[in-house]
Structure 1
Amino acid sequence: MNEVNKNDYYVLNWFDKAKEDYFKLDGEQIIFVDKALNRIKIMGMEAGQQLYGKLHNCRKLKNRKKGLRIVFKEGDSSKNIDIIDIIVIGKRKDDEVYLEAEKRLNDKI
């Protein structure tokens, strides 16, 4: 079995609804999201900006022009595999994306 080391990419674990978010995006949005996800795979929890309040253990990557946000957190890592959970992908509109992230995290508990 191959051993994974710290120099390898992070593994992305998608919340089911985050997958649905992704498939609702248009072509231009998908280009941004794919680039952002690649950045998360490479940088892990060093990518993006720290969130606060109830989402203090999460980070976000954003595209101001498109109004998109990707909210993610460190997942349950085991067997030397670093996992990042993709919680939600959406527009910031009235903090909707952050409220949805809180809801999804609470539902997972």
Structure 2
Amino acid sequence: MIKTSFKEAITSNLDLTIVVPTYNLGHYLPETLKSIQQQTIDFELWLIDDASTDGTAQTVADFVKGIPNFHVTGFNHHRGIGAARNFGIDHATGQAVAFVDGDDLIAPTF
């Protein structure tokens, strides 16, 4: 008999969850989001805004609209990159988790 946890039973069939912590990324973020959107496989995305004050939170909220596997959350106060990454890990449903910083560009076959 194979036992699975409740989380495993409700997870999606996606192999990858990408976690992106964001904090005051300004003009860097749109290019990062564009490079993530160009991935050649289906994936889940978690964007975690760490209480940005420059419009980053609105940018990520607008980006995920209408995309079922794309999620965004925001912290009420600055908690740091570790807290943001841990939030992403705790909510990931993919078989693997990858971290991308909000000012990174990744190849379509990342």
TM-score by length of 2: 0.27
TM-score by length of 1: 0.27
Normalized per residue, the structure richer in strand is 1
Normalized per residue, the structure richer in helix is 1
Bigger relative CO (Cα 8 Å, ≥ 6 apart): 2
